[in-house]
Amino acid sequence: MDAQRTPTRPAPRARAGERSVGAPSSRRATGVSDITRPTSLSLPPQKWYRSGRAPLVLAAAVCGVIAFVVSWLGSWVPSFWGDEAASIMSAERPWSSLMNELARVDAVHGTYYAFLHLWIDVFGASQLSTRVPSAIGVGLAAAGIVVLVARMERLWPANGRDGLSSAVGAAGIRLGVIAAMVFAVLPRTTYMGTEVRSYALGTACAVWLAVLFLTLVGGRVTRVLPWVGFAAAYGACIYVFLYLSLIALPFGAMLLWDARGRLRTTALAIVRPGSAPSAEVAARARSARRWLLASVGGRSARRAAGVLRAQGARPDQVPRRASRRDVHQLHREPVVRRQLGAGRRGLGGARGLRPRGRRRVAQAST
């Protein structure tokens, strides 16, 4: 007869930081030291004002307000001139008469005339009220310039190619603020900000359309829906001002320029894998961070720096001080010796590099 078994209580759960009794440690079980692992891979959501967007939003808002004030102050003093009078007369027409005019005479500013028709119904047709939308357009354009310049701040070689980035840094924000302030005080800007025409609103549409385009291209967005939204925004901008259709030319040039870098990288990886930046080169670049660029200013340092830069090392990966012994030790590294030898043999080993990389290897080998 089997002996009666007494029920056993389950072992209590170990508290955080404690090891349960009788349980083998992770070091004995796997040979790996105990590591505290998170129970979930999800991260708490970041508030927008704690992320890097808060300084950019603040700078854009401040620059927009300043640009608006610069264009708005004194805008009620001059009287209407010929084109402004044409805008007022068109906007005050009944809807049927306005549609007839747009179909036969002036369709370029049709959306602006329809907007101005609604604006006059609410705020009147005085010089101050009808010029406020143009000042608002200048403010929106200045705010968009801050965002646009900040996001175009960095154009750097990424993964062996020139790529676009939407990263935003303090230097980019400062440059964007300077560009927006210069834009706000340009004579042409203050002129269009104080007249009853569609140029200021069209400028704002063009700037923010460029911001949207750069966001999609820099983020490598491949989904269809965002690009459909971009196409709709582009069509709306054309309705605001017909000649905004020409903005497709610089957008297309940017796409071709970016695609050229990606095509060059793909061909480099297929045709000459040995000349592309490899894990070994990346490791050498990281290890050289402590002592390479701007080291002793000698010929040896320039050679080694040229090789590592040509192979994908960024200037910010190296410090400002080094000794001659460290530089000579770097020259004994296989990757540097191979590339310097290839450079002396007529750049035979650097044919797969970018033109800028080949020039740097050539300079380093002389």
Confidence at residue 339, expressed as pLDDT on a 0 to 100 scale: 54
Question: Using CA of residue 173, residue 174, residue 176, residue 181, what is the dihedral sign?
Answer: positive
Confidence at residue 300, expressed as pLDDT on a 0 to 100 scale: 54
Confidence at residue 257, expressed as pLDDT on a 0 to 100 scale: 80
Q: Rounded to two decimals, what is the model's pTM?
A: 0.56
Q: How far apart are CA 142 and CA 68, in angstroms?
A: 9
Exposure string of 98-134, with b = 16+ CB inside 10 Å and e = fewer, is beebbeeeeeebbbbbbbbbebbeeeebebeebbbbb
Share of the chain above pLDDT 70, in %: 52
Do residues 322 and 331 lie in contact, with contact meaning Cβ atoms separated by under 8 Å? Answer: no
Q: How far apart are CA 361 and CA 85, in angstroms?
A: 64
pLDDT digits (tens, 9 = 90+) for 252-295: 888 888 776 665 555 544 445 444 444 444 444 444 444 444 44
Report the chain (366 residues): mean pLDDT per 10 consecutive residues. Answer: 51 49 44 42 41 79 95 87 86 87 80 90 88 94 93 51 49 88 94 91 94 86 90 92 90 80 53 46 46 44 59 52 53 56 45 51 48
**18 φ/ψ angles, rounded to the nearest 5 degrees:** -110, 160
E runs forming strands in the chain: 155-158, 161-164
E runs forming strands in 62-124: none
Confidence at residue 192, expressed as pLDDT on a 0 to 100 scale: 92
Residue 215 CB burial class (10 angstroms; 0-12, 13-18, ≥19):
middle
Angle ∠(307,312,317) on CA atoms, nearest 5:
90
